[in-house]
Amino acid sequence: MIKVVKFGGSSLASAEQFAKAGDIVRSDEDRKYVVPSAPGKRNDKDSKVTDMLYDCYRAASRQEDIRISFNRIKERYNTIINGLGLKLSLEEEYKKIEKNLKDQIGEDYAASRGEYLNGKIMAAYLGFEFIDAAEVIFFDEKGHFLSDKTNKVLKKRLHSAEKAVIPGFYGSLPDGTIKTFSRGGSDITGSIVAKAAEAGMYENWTDVSGCMVADPRIIKNPKPIRVVTYRELRELSYMGASVLHEDAIFPVRKAGIPINIRNTNCPEAPGTLIVESTCHVPEYTITGIAGKKGFVAVNIDKDMMNSEVGFCRKALQAFEDNRISIEHMPSGIDTMTVFVQQEEFMGKEQQILSELHKLCKPDTLDLEGDLALIAVVGRGMREARGTAGRLFSALAHANINVKMIDQGSSELNIIIGVRNGDFENAIRAIYDIFVETRL
Ligand code: ASP
């Protein structure tokens, strides 16, 4: 089996971390292709090299002297090289990069050098071939990723390299200029490489042991999620749980390659396996809980609404015309409620209300702000009886007023709306009932 392993910035922030990553790669012959990020933070006060490169580029654009700030970047790499005892000099590379920063050849180019240099070090450290991502990952002139071309060229290139390092985060435009993905984009590179290599596994090494059932800032030491499906993960990440760049899922998902989130600082932990589908019975009825604060409910009431053809379309038009995206839309026979993000909505509030009046002629329109949405996600819910019953009685016991309930037809999730102030307690109550007491 071929494994593609991607290491995040914190896994490569120092020589010590690099050595851990090296041990991980060497301990399994299947780990043939390595995708590194740029060095991340070594501690809370430290900076990510990517941010340092952006700063340097912007300073150069203001005609400032970048010698000191560029030296700091060089220092980060030289400390890693020396700490690993490598006989590698990147002096020529540094010279070229510094000149290009001064010549302002592109912000994306500047940012990408973090991964590029780390890739050079990783390749030397492992004794693997170095493949420049600019030669195998392509974007069109508008900056859209070209998946077919990339897959074709990359597949061929990987065939000729038994073991290789491909830096994350960037590729090239048709004219050869460097283009990066959005921030955190090395995850996407890993996924693209896994697809082209026809890998059996895409390992994504980071600094946590995978996804947790709930946010550790709310639940102390939450249980890890062992297996999660892509669809469950989408539901959870849409609600704010993030372990992976969103776009990293698509290339491997289509190819049926599982992703394993692992912890570089705790390689013995199995981490979280993200799969297309599974018969692995989840440990608890629910797979995970995630949520977000800051929503407004726009309640629209009108007698006989259900028999008025086109009513929903007209109501939604008021939001669309004002470019407001809709989060949820529970409805009753004579009412519909539209949940939107408070921050987006606030500036356009009166405009939207007056349009709703004009378009829908409602009996009443009212708003309720400062609401939070919580998604309780789990493929196991379909099989379990009484999930909703337990959920709501737990919330009632915790004295939490549920303002909205929405269960998708897939029975993969139940979304509930509560007051912002009840958000944390609601998550605790749900976690308690399903995970701690395992009801
Ligand atoms: N180094 C880039 C960033 O900081 C990409 C990545 O780490 O995935 O966003």
> Of 182, 205, 184, 183, which Cα lies nearest the Cα of 259?
205
The count of residues in the chain is 439
Instruction: Locate the ligand 1 atom nearest the alpha carbon of residue 187 and give its number.
Output: 8
pLDDT tens for 61-117 read: 999 999 999 999 999 999 999 999 999 999 999 999 999 999 999 999 999 999 999
pLDDT exceeds 80 at position 438: no
The pLDDT of residue 282: 79
Q: Which CATH superfamily is domain 3-207 in?
A: Acetylglutamate kinase-like (3.40.1160.10)
Among 184, 93, 173, 190, smallest CA distance to 135 is for 173
Residue 21 alpha carbon to ligand 1 centre in Å: 17
Amino acid 409: pLDDT = 67
Per-domain residue ranges for the chain?
Answer: 3-207, 288-436
pLDDT digits (tens, 9 = 90+) for 256-266: 999 999 999 99
Name every residue whose Cβ is closer than 8 Å to that of residue 359 and which is 6 or more positions away in sequence.
314, 315, 317, 318
Indicate the average pLDDT of the chain: 94
- How far is it, in rounded angstroms, from Cα 183 to Cα 9? 12
Evaluate if residue 50 carries a pLDDT over 80. Answer: yes
Taking residues 356-375, what's their average pLDDT?
Answer: 94
Query: How many angstroms separate the alpha carbon of residue 175 from the centre of ligand 1?
Result: 23
Q: Is the pLDDT of residue 195 over 90?
A: yes
C-alpha of residue 199 to centroid of ligand 1, in Å: 23
Nearest residue to 299 (alpha-carbon basis) of 263, 329, 325, 338: 338
Q: How confident is the model at residue 358 (pLDDT cuts 50, 70, 90)?
A: very high
Nearest atom in ligand 1 to 186's CA = 8
Q: What is the pLDDT of residues 322-353, one digit of tens each?
A: 999 998 888 888 999 999 999 999 999 999 99
Model pTM score:
0.87
DSSP output for 181-233: -STTTHHHHHHHHHHHTT-SEEEEEESSSS-BSS-TTTSSSPPBPSEEEHHHH
**Helix boundaries (H) for 89-179:** 91-102, 107-126, 147-159
Taking the C-alpha atoms of residue 291 and residue 280, their distance in angstroms, rounded to an integer, is 25
Q: Tokens representing 9?
A: 């910035």
Query: Is the pLDDT score of 439 beyond 70?
Result: no
Q: What does DSSP assign to residue 436?
A: I
CATH topology of domain 288-436: VC0802-like (3.30.2130)
